Structure 1
Amino acid sequence: MKKFNFIYVGVLLMLLASCAMRKSSSNTTSALMGKKWQLVELDGKVVPEKVNGKMPFLTLDEENGRYSASGGCNGIGGEYTLQKNNGVSFSRGMSTMMACADMSIENGLRTLFDEADTYTVKENTMSLSKGQHGAALAKFVLVVDQSDKLTGTWELDYILDAEVGFDELYANKKPTITFDVAEKKVNGNSSCNNFSGTVKIDGNAISFGPMMSTKMACPGNGEQVFFKNIERVTSFDAQDSTLTMIMDDIVVMRWQKK
């Protein structure tokens, strides 16, 4: 009887240990899955925010065990497998074959997926490396969705490239913009004419589609300056009641929540 008790206890301990291992693994991988990661460093070199006008990224689909990525040109994808001790392996699948001006990051990503076998996640940074103690082959940062912060109406209080002071440029009326994030649309007033159009938001990347506007004649060049700058915008940062629109690393427009 004692022998059977020992066997029962041993099996129970093994099951509990197995559950604990699965739970720990789940906690580790939950920080990795179902999120979009922006490539910021490859082979020790900084990767631009956009390559060929697109953000280089990696996503991991937990349900289907597949990954998708881009180096700023073609879509790259395939299957991946997570292993114990933060191990990972990637297998290539089908991808598009478009030629782009800059293929260096894409080619580097293809090599990365052949070589990387270990991942680490620390706060909002993920690294892929070869070996537990090897130097990082690539680093990614989490793309945080800020689109909900855009909802509502904003009033402009700064714009780039104004030949005269802001208050003189918009002496009679300041431009406004209203975001309908769910419908991916915007509308507002350029300080003279009303406008409307589409907006594309991906993390903190943003771009505006062609704007339609009324055709009233406007004094000064405030409207021209407004539309010129909103076409430049590539990203945004929303903090409390202030919305900053950016081109690369240059602030082109700043808004206050109404």
Structure 2
Amino acid sequence: MGMPTMHKHHLTASAALVAFLALSACGTSPGPGAGDGGTVRPDVPVAGVRWSVESVTVDGKKTAAPADAHVSINSKGRAGGNLGCNHFGADTAIEGDTITFGQAVTTEMACEKPVQSFENALKKALNGKVTAELEDGTLTLTTADGDSVRLTEQPAAPLTGTKWTVESLTSDRTASSLPAAAQGKAYIVFGKDGTARGNLGCNSFSAKAVTEGPAITFGPVASTRKLCPGPGMDVERALLKAMKGRTTYKITDRSLTLTGADGAGFAATASDEGKAPGAGAATDK
């Protein structure tokens, strides 16, 4: 059976890290964002970082975030991320300690009721002007109404020890989303002992995997032999083909791309196992 029809989209390069410089004001009149002595305040350094959303506080009530809620702003001022279930994108402007979020565009997946409630609160908070305060890797965004979003800087995930959940199959500069029946099932974990284990979407597997620089060389893959639905088997065959011999890999924040010698491979995301899959219970501040 051939590969199922899959939606394709172009991969985009990750945003480069941005260095923020304090600028001296010109003339005798302080400009916008000027502090004492007529010096322009430097922008809060939030761009180029993946911020994991920890909680949203509305009307004094704090709600823990779903597992994958995160926000990042690239060097061109474009914000994107996940509201807890749906992905979003919005233009931003950073001036001193003020971030102005434009109208967000989101996907429209149906979400569980607690997650949807959290998404609505987060989307409302990330709209218009907010005040940003950064301290020890924790970013707090406060709206004019006094509501707030707490975020923490999320470092790049290490190759070994991370559960990498396969999101799409790749070829050259295109990516094909997994069939619905296979989404969230295929994953790989690289061990410090030079092995890899995981699931191909239906069958579990293990193999020797030697890492050297940007390359991973796989040995023969041993797997279970369960019969799986057609789309699942197609994904398994594609993953087995990708994990054949010498491959190259790249990690950007919490995203992994692995490419085989023929240019085909897969893209995966680091699973955040420290949070529950749904939104946390609301607690008083």
* TM-score calculated relative to the size of structure 1: 0.50
Whose helix proportion is higher, 1 or 2? Answer: 1
Q: Which has the larger radius of gyration?
A: 1
* TM-score calculated relative to the size of structure 2: 0.46
